[in-house]
Structure 1
Amino acid sequence: MTIRLLLADDQALVRGALAALLDLEPDLEVVAEVGSGDAVLPAAREHRPDVALLDVEMPGLDGIEATRALRAALPEVRVLIVTTFGRPGFLRRALQAGAGGFVVKDTPARQLADAVRRVHAGLRVVDPGLAADSLVSGDSPLTVRETDVLRAARDGAAVATIARTLVLSEGTVRNHLSSAIGKTGTANRAEAARVAELNGWL
């Protein structure tokens, strides 16, 4: 039986290389390739893949949100995250969103093909080093609101702008920022956002 694959990565060279490698396997067939998270669900509806291989960092929806949308709309499609960003927070969030596996892009081709087969079979596949790091680092210390505020603040937006965007008072935004700075052990919101991003909490 041939396993039908959808690839989503915003880097065309990476996407093409993955497609070429996976197409060499006799039981794997790439049926669709997309360059943004927004395109994942429409492509999956059109091409009906068995497994979607998604990057984390993509324009539009990121790979984790695309996973959540895909699993909600087409639960029969399994998801394997294949990313450069091997961060413990990303791993936790991806699994919570419904991904069946999480591997990094420097995984050897044979192991990647095997990971696809295992995810297709309903098994969970996680890069062992990343799994260990995830256990050590623990869950994000940030609340949902602190995460929202920090995500909105990472591009340097003013407090008033963040407040309007998230429909909060400016005082509430300042409180959330202050709390996030304290929890990340940083000196300001830019550093807090950087630490949170490095840990995969945003």
Structure 2
Amino acid sequence: MIRLLLADDQALVRGALAALLDLETDLTVVAQVGRGDEVLAAARESGAEVCLLDIEMPGLTGLEVAEQLRAELPGVRSLIVTTFGRPGYVRRALDAGAAGFVVKDTPARELADAVRRVHAGLRVVDPGLAAESLMAGPSPLTVREAEILRLALDGSPVAAIARAAHLSQGTVRNHLSAAIGKTGASTRAEAARVAQSRGWL
């Protein structure tokens, strides 16, 4: 039996995934959590072999959890299962140590097969997203530019972004200007939305 941990902040989704995967004779769900920062302890305690991770969760994102699992529990494989099928996320997930990336509307049989393949040491990526990811290429944003755009997502003024990032307002403006150019946007709000939609944030 392949021991699975499900991490998703939506209880209904988690329950549905558990019910579907438990129908498989060789898969068993041994733990379920609703926050990213609960995964590591739950994986240790349950002896999970594959962790199915949503990307956007409270505590830690699925990408951060994949990185944490790779560092702390290298024998445990992680599979990103998300509604956010953004090309940039695929690359970031694989860079973080995830063994696979599929979207939530994947048919149950394909999801179960993805779990088995990841458990066997293979990499599994939704084919459509893999092609989009290759076409889109890596994020052109620096780590700092991405950080500044994340802070700009809610429309915060430059002064507030500067305080949060511990930078001068001039430096923040420079980063925003560079990010606007790289995303082909005309405003910082548009640049933040473009970067988010491509999975760069």
Identify the residue that residue 162 of structure 2 maps to in structure 1: 163
Identify the residue that residue 71 of structure 1 maps to in structure 2: 70
Instruction: Tell whether 2:121 aligns with 1:103.
Output: no
The unaligned stretches of length 5 or more in structure 1 are: none
Q: Secondary structure at the match of 2:105?
A: coil
Query: CA offset at residue 195 of structure 1?
Result: 0.3
Which amino acid is the alignment partner of residue 9 of structure 2? D
| More deviation, 157-166/191-200 | 157-166
Identify the residue that residue 124 of structure 2 maps to in structure 1: 125
Query: CA offset at residue 41 of structure 1?
Result: 1.3
Structure 1 residues 9-60: Cα deviation after superposition (integer angstroms, max 9, x where no partner): 1111111000000001111110111111111112112212000000111122
Q: Secondary structure at the match of 2:115?
A: helix
Identify the residue that residue 19 of structure 1 maps to in structure 2: 18
Which amino acid is the alignment partner of residue 170 of structure 2? G
Kindly, what percent of the aligned residue pairs are identical? 75
Identify the residue that residue 83 of structure 2 maps to in structure 1: 84
Identify the residue that residue 174 of structure 2 maps to in structure 1: 175
Structure 1 residues 110-133: Cα deviation after superposition (integer angstroms, max 9, x where no partner): 111111010001000011111111
Identify the residue that residue 191 of structure 2 maps to in structure 1: 192
Which amino acid is the alignment partner of residue 101 of structure 1? G
Instruction: Tell whether 2:104 aligns with 1:138.
Output: no
Structure 2 length normalisation: TM-score?
0.97
The unaligned stretches of length 5 or more in structure 2 are: none
Identify the residue that residue 93 of structure 1 maps to in structure 2: 92
| More deviation, 89-98/144-153 | 144-153
Instruction: Tell whether 2:37 aligns with 1:38.
Output: yes
Structure 1 length normalisation: TM-score?
0.97
Query: CA offset at residue 160 of structure 1?
Result: 2.0
How many pairs align?
201
Provide the C-alpha distance between the structure 1 equivalents of 2:37 and 2:155, rounded to a whole number of angstroms: 25
Provide the C-alpha distance between the structure 2 equivalents of 1:158 and 1:93, rounded to a whole number of angstroms: 28
Provide the C-alpha distance between the structure 1 equivalents of 2:189 and 2:151, rounded to a whole number of angstroms: 11
Q: Secondary structure at the match of 1:60?
A: coil
| More deviation, 38-47/107-116 | 38-47
Provide the C-alpha distance between the structure 2 equivalents of 1:154 and 1:48, rounded to a whole number of angstroms: 38
